[in-house]
A and B are shown apart, each in its own frame.
Chain A
Amino acid sequence: MRTDEELMLLFREGSREAFEELFARHHRAVVRFAWRMTGDPATAEEAAQEIFLRIARAAPSYRPTAKFTTWMYTIARRSTLNYLRDTEEEGEKVPILQEGEAEDGVYPVHLPGPEDRNPERMVWEAQLADRFRAALGELPEAYRAAFVLNRGDGLSYDEVAQVLGITVQAVKTRIFRAREMLLSRLSKDVSG
Chain B
Amino acid sequence: MGCRDIRETISAFVDGEASPEEAGAVREHLASCERCRVLERQMRAVGAGVRQIRGTVPDRLRETVFARLEAEGALPPPMPAHARSWRWAAAPLAAAALGLFLLTSGDAIRKASVPGPPTAVFLTTEDRETIALLDVLEDTATFDADGESEGMDLLAPGDSAEPPAPTRGARSGA
Contacts and interface: CB of A to CB of B under 8 A. Distances in A.
B105 interface: no
B135 interface: no
Given A20-B145, A26-B171, A114-B48, A136 B39 contact: no
B156 interface: no
B53 A115 contact: no
Interface residues of A, number: 64
B57 A21 contact: no
Nearest to A38: B55
B106 to A, nearest CB: 40
Interface string A110-127: 011111000000001000
Nearest to A33: B173
B55 A32 contact: yes
Interface residues of B, number: 58
Given A15-B76, A115-B44, A176-B11, A28 B166 contact: no
Interface of A: 2, 14-17, 19-21, 23-29, 31-32, 34-36, 41, 44-45, 48-49, 52-53, 56-57, 59, 69, 104-107, 109, 111-115, 124, 129, 132-133, 136, 147-148, 150-154, 156-157, 172-173, 175-176, 179-180, 182-183, 186
Closest 3 CB pairs of A and B: A154-B174, A24-B166, A35-B55
Interface of B: 3-4, 7-8, 11-12, 15, 17, 35-36, 38-39, 41-58, 61-62, 64-66, 68-69, 74-79, 141, 143, 145-146, 148, 163, 166-174
